[in-house]
């Protein structure tokens, strides 16, 4: 049974785990955390950004590699990669990083095999291999948190597209006209502006007015209010579910998917999101597929990304044999 060091890197924190991989599945043996502050770092140049990322990741991993007999390293990273995960094409946290062979650089630093891929795609791999999507040939995994992300498995393989940007689900447009919200991508009406944590909070504040809405500062508060029957809070989650269901309907109509899994920070409000999501999905999907799609909550909690990063490595090691 091989041991893999898996990492799930966010804007400010890095989660790592020693994962035992076998033909039947993966088991997390040890977990670690480190502060990485990628979103806070202001690189003076592209070279400085590349050096900083390599240094931060390798320094966090090196002590763990020294403690355990690690075969290889798998990393989920917030950015867009080419199909083989060798080249980071772009990263929202470090915009200077473009077309960087990050996996090779990290492999040189750590003296072992390193595989990297988009963090949402890693979460999809984890859910497909060991979670709610286990046994499916095709799977769409959705992450709901600060933003809305997606990862796609087609014919038992991760799909990244020609530019590394397949399943940028958060930027599917579900609203138009004057009321469409502006998005950080530069567009407007993106599903992320309604179905993310910030989107839900915005919907609540708009529904109840600034005077009362400004006292509520996070989505957990909105969820508690909704569970107590607050009309504005219920409306916010209704909006989120409706917009997300519409976006998913477009994907299902295009790809004829049967199974969708969902994870992320908004899962604590799943009971509020799921009914309007399913109603909207079935309203907007092609009629022949109405009632044919299941949308399931994660079975892996916050471990999907780690297990998916380990799966990246397992697939690479199998390919090499």
Residues 257 and 144 in one domain: yes
pLDDT score, position 212: 65
Residues 219 and 94 in one domain: no
Backbone CA torsion sign across 232, 238, 244, 249 = negative
Q: Which three-class secondary structure state does DSSP give residue 262?
A: strand
The answer to whether 222 and 239 have CB atoms below 8 angstroms apart is no
Alpha carbons 309 and 276: distance in angstroms, whole number: 32
Alpha carbons 118 and 265: distance in angstroms, whole number: 18
Residues 294 and 168 in one domain: yes
User: Which ranges of the chain have pLDDT less than 70?
Assistant: 1, 22-25, 39, 210-213
Rg (CA), the chain: 20
Residues 309 and 258 in one domain: no
Residues 139 and 224 in one domain: yes
CATH of the domain at 105: 3.30.420.40
Residues 81 and 179 in one domain: no
Range of the domain at 270: 135-298
The answer to whether 52 and 46 have CB atoms below 8 angstroms apart is no
The answer to whether 237 and 276 have CB atoms below 8 angstroms apart is yes
pLDDT score, position 213: 62
Residues 228 and 282 in one domain: yes
pLDDT score, position 45: 84
pTM above 0.75, yes or no: yes
pLDDT score, position 174: 95
Instruction: Tell me how many domains the chain contains.
Output: 2
């Amino acid at each position: 049974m091989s041991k893999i060091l898996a990492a799930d890197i966010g804007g400010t924190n890095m989660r790592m785990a020693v994962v035992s991989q076998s033909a039947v599945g993966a088991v997390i043996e040890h977990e670690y955390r480190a502060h990485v502050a990628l979103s806070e770092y202001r690189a003076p140049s592209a070279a400085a950004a590349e050096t900083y990322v390599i240094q931060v990741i390798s320094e966090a991993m090196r002590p763990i590699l020294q403690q355990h007999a690690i075969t290889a390293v798998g990393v989920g990273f917030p950015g867009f990669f080419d199909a083989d995960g060798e080249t980071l094409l772009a990263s929202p946290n470090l915009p200077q990083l473009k077309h960087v062979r990050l996996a090779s650089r990290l492999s040189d630093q750590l003296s072992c095999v390193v595989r990297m891929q988009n963090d949402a795609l890693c979460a999809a791999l984890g859910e497909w291999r060991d979670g709610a999507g286990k046994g499916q040939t095709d799977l769409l995994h959705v992450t709901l948190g600060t933003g809305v992300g997606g990862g796609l498995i087609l014919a038992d393989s991760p799909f990244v597209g020609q530019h590394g940007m397949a399943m940028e689900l958060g930027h599917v447009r579900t609203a138009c006209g004057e009321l469409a919200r502006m998005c950080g991508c530069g567009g407007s009406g993106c599903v992320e502006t309604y179905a993310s944590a910030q989107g839900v909070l915005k919907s609540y504040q708009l529904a109840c007015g600034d005077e009362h809405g400004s006292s509520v500062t996070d989505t957990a508060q909105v969820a508690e209010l909704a569970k107590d029957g607050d009309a504005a809070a219920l409306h916010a989650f209704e909006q989120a579910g409706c917009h997300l269901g519409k976006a998913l309907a477009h994907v299902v109509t295009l790809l004829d998917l049967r199974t969708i899994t969902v994870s992320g920070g908004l899962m604590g409000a799943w009971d509020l999101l799921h009914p309007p999501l399913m109603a909207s999905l079935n309203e907007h999907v092609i009629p022949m597929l109405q009632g044919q799609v299941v949308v399931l909550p994660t079975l892996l909690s916050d471990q999907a990304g780690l297990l998916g990063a380990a799966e990246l490595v397992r697939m690479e090691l199998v390919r090499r044999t």
